[in-house]
């Protein structure tokens, strides 16, 4: 499994704006949503970016004692759900908190998980999900960790337990 790779647009070694605490942020390369006003249009092409070994990212996590967690951003992490699920699982096993961004809503992700079993795997390995597309008309620069009002910060573990969306208090 440690040979497995994901295609990424880039990595930020330390961020305090992409989730609680200090986090390593991995930007997935490739996104199907094309939200008008997207801040990362260079992440849309599936053939862009570069392929990196999951083991290499885990090594970066392990090397920085200041990190509280890892954030999977985009692009669209669920477009490479199997690889990102593996990364998330390995990070959690090492005690890191996992926050995942998606342009899909939680309801879309859970409703389609039969056709896309890897989507369920990535959700199972996510602590907080910021869901839904960025909507320019609902843009709000003051929201913590998200760009527009329609996006929610969801406590995924509690939501899966209760079978309904449970918002996180952030």
Binding site for ligand SF4 (CB under 6 A): 31, 33-35, 38, 40, 43, 74-76, 103, 133-134
Q: Which is nearer to ligand SF4, 69 or 133 (CB)?
A: 133
CB of 148 to ligand SF4, least distance (A): 9
Q: Which is nearer to ligand SF4, 49 or 133 (CB)?
A: 133
Q: Which is nearer to ligand SF4, 90 or 148 (CB)?
A: 148
CB of 93 to ligand SF4, least distance (A): 27
Closest to 69 measured CA to CA, from 46, 98, 48, 101: 98
CB of 39 to ligand SF4, least distance (A): 7
Helix (H) or strand (E) holding 60: helix 54-63
Cα–Cα distance, 67 to 117 (Å, whole number): 30
CB of 77 to ligand SF4, least distance (A): 10
Helix (H) or strand (E) holding 50: strand 50-53
Long-range contacts of 79-82 (CB under 8 A, 24+ apart): 79/28, 79/30, 79/31, 79/32, 79/46, 80/6, 80/7, 80/28, 80/30, 81/116, 81/118, 81/119, 81/121, 81/122, 82/118, 82/121
Q: Which is nearer to ligand SF4, 61 or 72 (CB)?
A: 72
Q: Which is nearer to ligand SF4, 67 or 130 (CB)?
A: 130
CB of 162 to ligand SF4, least distance (A): 26
Q: Where are the beta strands (DSSP E) in 122-161?
A: 128-131, 152-155
């Amino acid at each position: 499994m440690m040979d497995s790779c994901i295609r990424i647009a880039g990595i930020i070694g330390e961020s305090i704006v992409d989730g609680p605490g200090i986090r390593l942020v991995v930007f997935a390369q490739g996104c199907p949503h094309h939200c008008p006003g997207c801040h990362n249009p260079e992440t849309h092409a599936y053939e862009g970016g570069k392929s990196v070994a999951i083991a290499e990212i885990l090594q970066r996590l392990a090397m920085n004692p200041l990190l509280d967690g890892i954030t999977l951003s985009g692009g669209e992490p669920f477009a490479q759900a199997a690889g990102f699920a593996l990364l998330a699982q390995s990070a959690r096993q090492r005690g890191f908190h996992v926050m995942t961004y998606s342009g899909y809503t939680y309801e879309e992700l859970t409703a389609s998980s039969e056709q896309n079993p890897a989507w369920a795997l990535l959700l199972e390995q996510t602590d907080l999900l910021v869901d839904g597309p960025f909507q320019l008309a609902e843009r709000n620069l003051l929201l913590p960790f998200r760009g527009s009002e329609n996006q929610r910060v969801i406590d995924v573990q509690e939501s899966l337990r209760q079978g309904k969306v449970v918002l996180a208090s952030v």
